[in-house]
Amino acid sequence: MRTRIPLVLLLVAAPVLTAACAKLMGPPPRPRTDGYAGIITVRGGDTELARFQLAVRGEAVRRSTSDAEDAPYFVRETAGGEVFEVNPATKSYRAGTPEALLAHLDDFPLGADFNHAAEANRRGIKEYYRESDAVFAGNACNIWRFPDRPDAFNSPSTTYWMTPALDGIVVRKERAVPKADGTEAKTYVELTLVRAGIDPGYFRVPEGFQREATPAR
């Protein structure tokens, strides 16, 4: 016996099915428009100095204090907006600082579309160069080197590894400072396990969390 589906059920289900199909058939999320998240590892030579989760969507930023899923984190929803330190364990939050939000991320470009000319202008230099291309963490990268003093011999320098396939986000920063013995002291900030598509709500304090009076240090 054939089962007949009532017309009213078809009418109710149609918008849901249409929305689901549109989501499945739509373009995949991109860092430029939908944000991204990943794991940041900070190293001094071979020594790991820090490891934490990072999420960025436009000017919204979220940085955890470690790579643990339940770790406290700092969050900012808008450029110049208030920073909060959120503690999932106690379901509480308090005022934070921009310095705490961006700890370990000095000079690390967070947005998409890294612009080498704009970076040179920010640094106040005119001489810089594309050093090479290489693969980092599975991503093909353009490597741009910026000397602190282009006119000086053996100047300290910073390189940025930018990946065009991920809308030009930077996945690695290397800082090299020459030493008297002819070697270099190197530090690294590395972004791995990148995933695109972060919900805007990820950058807000969860509903129901209680605000503490004591601000973060």
pLDDT at 4: 59
Provide the pLDDT for residue 86.
98
110-143: pLDDT as tens digits: 999 999 999 999 999 999 999 999 999 999 999 9
pLDDT of residue 215: 65
Give the residue from 162, 186, 43 showing the smallest Cα distance to 110: 162
Q: Does residue 208 surpass a pLDDT of 80?
A: yes
Average pLDDT, the chain: 90
**Model confidence over 38-64: pLDDT tens digits?**
999 999 999 999 999 999 999 999 999
Q: Is pLDDT above 80 for 183? A: yes
User: What is the DSSP secondary structure assignment for residue 78, as one 8-state letter?
Assistant: S
- What domains appear along the chain, each with residue ranges and CATH number? 31-206 (2.50.20.10)
Question: What pTM value is reported for the model?
Answer: 0.85
What would the mean pLDDT of 100-107 be, rounded to a whole number? 95
pLDDT at 6 exceeding the cut of 90 = no
- pLDDT of the residue at 182: 87
User: For the residues 15-30, what does the mean pLDDT come to?
Assistant: 63
User: Closest by alpha carbon to 119, among 189, 168, 52?
Assistant: 168
- Angle, alpha carbons 161-165-166 (nearest 5°): 75
Task: Specify the pLDDT at position 61.
Answer: 98
Q: The dihedral of CA 195, 99, 50, 204: what is its sign?
A: negative
* pLDDT confidence band for 3 (50 / 70 / 90): low
- From CA 75, how far away is CA 159, in angstroms rounded? 27
Examine the pLDDT at 8 and tell me if it is beyond 50: no
List, for residues 186-202, the tens digit of each pLDDT value: 999 999 999 999 999 99
Residue 99 has pLDDT above 50, yes or no: yes
Lowest mean pLDDT among 20-24, 72-76, 166-170: 20-24
**pLDDT at 217 exceeding the cut of 80:** no
